[in-house]
């Protein structure tokens, strides 16, 4: 309870600061891993100790499982994920020409389930959806993020940027107040990172579970006492898109481990 009160007080103090929204120079961008303890870094870097790898292994099983009325597996269309999915996660959220708007990787998986497997979509944050997303994203680990290269995404990235610098909630804070203007400081004893989304889905020690970028965003919004965006909403995907484009060129770490 004392830690919660301290966090609320610290958030409130940040809310009195001007929203400078000073973008981080490319040379100064840092993964959240650089703010972690050495023990947590070792846990992430060792696949035998990284708890997120359990989700990856489950995702591999789902990749080859025939599902839905079509009786198809992901592998029936895409083959070996190690080759067919290499680089795929580095460009999401991506523009869907059929839907005429961007979709995140979780939505792409569910669209494939609906359209090709004739199976019901996995619920947001479900064990299965996180596992399959982690497995797909794992194939791009070590590759540079390319999100935002598609010119069709420009207006959606701009919308996401507007959301990033917009103050919200009872504490009157924007994402930029913490992650652009006060990174490498501390809030209630925890390091403020740059919010670079280089490892999602992540295994978060606080959650003792895997979680998506959308879940992390919703947690921040709840922390400033704002109404959180729905999973898959236009606002959520726009903010995810901006964050990923902001990390353009940084290395994908999925499955990352965070405190």
Active centre residues (catalytic): 220
Residue 178, number of CB atoms within 10 A of its CB: 21
Angle at which helices 234-246 and 154-165 cross, to 10°:
90
Q: Which two three-digit tokens encode residue 131?
A: 């596992």
Residues 141 and 148: their CA atoms lie apart, in Å, by: 18
Residues 148 and 250: their CA atoms lie apart, in Å, by: 13
- Give, in order, the Cα–Cα distances in Å from 95 to each of 126, 132, 245: 24, 20, 13
What is the DSSP track for 194-242? -----S-SEEETTTTEEE-HHHHHHHHHHHTT--PPPTT-HHHHHHHHH
């Amino acid at each position: 309870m004392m830690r919660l009160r301290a966090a609320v007080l610290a958030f409130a103090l940040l809310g009195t600061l001007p929203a400078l929204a000073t973008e981080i120079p490319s040379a100064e961008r840092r993964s959240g891993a650089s703010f972690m303890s050495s023990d947590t870094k070792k846990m992430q870097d060792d696949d035998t100790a990284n708890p997120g790898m359990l989700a990856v292994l489950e995702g591999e099983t789902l990749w080859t499982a025939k599902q839905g009325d079509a009786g198809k597996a992901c592998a029936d269309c895409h083959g070996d994920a190690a080759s067919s999915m290499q680089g795929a996660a580095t460009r999401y959220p991506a523009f869907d020409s059929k839907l005429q708007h961007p979709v995140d990787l979780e939505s792409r998986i569910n669209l494939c389930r609906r359209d090709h497997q004739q199976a019901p979509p996995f619920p947001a944050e479900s064990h299965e959806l996180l596992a399959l997303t982690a497995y797909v994203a794992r194939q791009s680990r070590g590759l540079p993020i390319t999100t935002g290269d598609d010119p069709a995404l420009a207006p959606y990235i701009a919308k996401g940027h507007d959301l990033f610098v917009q103050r919200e909630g009872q504490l009157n804070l924007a994402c930029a107040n913490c992650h652009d203007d006060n990174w490498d400081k501390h809030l209630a004893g925890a390091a403020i990172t740059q919010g670079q989304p280089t490892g999602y889905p992540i295994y978060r020690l606080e959650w003792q579970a895997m979680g998506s970028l959308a879940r992390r965003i919703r947690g921040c919004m709840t922390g400033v006492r704002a109404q959180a965006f729905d999973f898959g909403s236009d606002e959520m995907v726009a903010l995810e898109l901006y964050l990923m484009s902001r990390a353009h060129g940084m290395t994908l770490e999925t499955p990352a481990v965070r405190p």
